[in-house]
A and B are shown apart, each in its own frame.
Chain A
Amino acid sequence: MKARRAMVMPGGAGTAEAREPAAGAVLVARDIHVALAGRSILDGVDLTVGAGEFVGLIGANGAGKTTLLRVLLGVLSPGSGEVMRPDGAGLLTDARHGRGVGYLPQKVALDPEAPLRARDVVALGLDGGRPGLRLRGRAAMRERVDETLRAVGAAEFGDRRVGELSGGQQQRVLLAHALISDPALLLLDEPLANLDPASAHDIVALLDRLRHTRPVAIVMTAHDMNLLLPVMDRVVYLAGGRAATGAPAEVVRGDVLTRLYGRPISVIHAKGRVLVIAGDDAAPADEVHHDTAFGSTGGQGRP
């Protein structure tokens, strides 16, 4: 009941989110405030994620990306505001009870000696929350695990110890863990951190392919948005506890970020990449194009 009412109610006035319809949304967060140890981390953040959308949470270290993701996941209760997430049946429900979500945490430190094969980690994504031993349905589980491993390109190392895999391979395995329950939404915390550029590019391509082949929306954090520019539908740019939200071309602009940061910010476009720097006039005008149309340059961002 509560879920339905929340979906038709408009969000906080004056935000970009308020203008968007919530129908078909897989995640609605309204006016999220979080303070940790007396310090305000998030100060009124709104976010709506539509089915199959790719949303990037962008910001510097300490901007509150992980905090926001943990709130969206339901493991951290916001000081105020509400989060509605899909439950198993596809309805939006309070984030603390939602289950239709796959999650990939930041910096998982896997012990190289841990007696867990990649396929064991993936299987736990389906039934790791259940008590007791897995006694029945082993054959069906094996099939489903194999299928999910194939979907993320990890079939060939399913039987290896997960701790001895490379960083990129581990991310694929953890992604399979998040995907195996067929979630409507994936929440990924810095999946590109600590990856070499080629692996990072491969993971982004994989994520983009996944959301086009199955009905899953993706929300991921990153401190560098350049790899995501070609695939993002929406960027949530976090700074000073507040967020600027919209299509990349609407948000990653000098004037928008200057308002967000409360000090002069320039956005430089060069060779299909963007660079966000402090200051009005950081480089000679003939080498940069301030606030150029985004779609034209963003699409060429792939290496």
Chain B
Amino acid sequence: MAPAAVTGFLASPTVHTALIVGGFVAVITGIVGVFTVVRGQSFAGHALADLGAVGGSGAFLIGLSQVWGFVGAGIIAALLMESIGVRRLQGRDVATGVVFAFGMGVTALFLYWGTTVGGSSNAAVSVLFGSLFVIDPAVIPVVVGLSVLALVVVVVCYRWLLVESVDRDLAAARGVPVRLTGVLFLVALALAVELSSLTIGAILSTGLLIGPAATALLVTRRFGRAVLLSAGLALAITWAGCLVSYESYYWTGRQGNWPVSFCIVALIFLVYLGVRLGAALGRRHAAAHAGARPAAPRPLKAGV
């Protein structure tokens, strides 16, 4: 079954578009993800996904391409967050929770209007859970251009982001333009998150942002290697997810495919879990062989 099916997979134009768009998005999201995790801005990534969904759903209503809806809303949200001060936002869970819930509420309203007025019942699934297999090939140049733009921003800011991850004043003392770096990174983050929203949906996009990065950080203590590994993992998982989704048509007795977003997010989860377990077992193994430290939990200190 497999060879013939794989031939079909590789011959499908829909799959071609999915592999190209998904591939570019995966690489840039994997790269930006490592910086996001190290800077502790996963929260900002999630916020940008929620607020970008307003644009993604709004685009349906006014007949604009979804990608511009996501990216436009994401960039505006990023600049607003910067002007308010991301660092201040992070401490205020309640207020920000209300703002983001409002964002999702507006998304729900737009999607409802889209369904009743435009008659497009796919909009909700597409905005919230992605549309990798129904993407118009015409958006390929847009996706490639925006991915390259985000990559250029990250490369220019590479060392600035590293010093700033140690300490903000330290970075300022080294001559890093800290304010500019913060703005540029948020824009790169918005681009990565919104492009992922386009492929695997606004709700799941944080998974692609954080999952491969967190997995890579389990494996290596070198920043540069973590970035390359995360990008490679995100790419491999996205492509494997496309294949699994395509093949699942045959496994389910031709009842329909498993959604590609599900396949990608499930693979991200399984790979993370596997690497985490492998790392734990490796440490146990090393400890047992070294003989210096028993694998059993350390005894409590006397008097505790």
Contacts and interface: CB of A to CB of B under 8 A. Distances in A.
Interface residues of A, number: 31
Given A75-B172, A131-B159, A132-B159, A115 B166 contact: no
A223 to B, nearest CB: 19
B175 A124 contact: no
Contacts of B176: 128-129
B148 interface: no
Interface string B156-167: 111110110111
Contacts of B159: 124, 127-134
A117 B221 contact: yes
A115 B167 contact: no
A240 interface: no
B220 interface: yes
Interface string A156-190: 00000100000000000010010000000000000
Interface residues on B, range: 20 to 34
A240 B32 CA distance: 46
Q: Is the interface of A mostly helix, strand, loop or mixed?
A: loop
Contact of B162 (A101, A111, A120): A120
Nearest to B161: A128
A191 to B, nearest CB: 13
B124 interface: no
Contact of A128 (B34, B156, B160, B217): B160
Interface in A191-235: none
A114 interface: yes
A117 B160 contact: no
Contacts of A73: 169, 172-173
Contact of B221 (A101, A115, A121, A134): A115
A208 B226 CA distance: 38
A105 B34 CA distance: 25
Interface in B142-165: 155-160, 162-163, 165
Interface string A103-138: 101001011011111001100110111111110000
Contact of A105 (B158, B169, B225): B169
A242 to B, nearest CB: 25
A115 B174 contact: no
B177 to A, nearest CB: 9
Given A120-B223, A131-B156, A115 B173 contact: no
A111 B217 CA distance: 12
A101 to B, nearest CB: 7
Nearest to B159: A128
A125 B175 CA distance: 10
B76 interface: no
B171 interface: yes
Give the interface centre of A70, A114, A117, A128 by most chain B CB atoms within 10 Å: A128
A116 B165 contact: yes
Contacts of A120: 162, 222-223
B173 A117 contact: no
A121 B175 contact: no
A178 to B, nearest CB: 9
B222 to A, nearest CB: 6
Nearest to B37: A113
Given A74-B173, A75-B169, 7 more contacts: A105-B170, A111-B40, A115-B225, A116-B223, A117-B222, A128-B171, A132-B156
Top 6 A-B pairs, shortest CB-CB distance: A129-B175, A128-B163, A103-B173, A129-B174, A128-B174, A75-B172
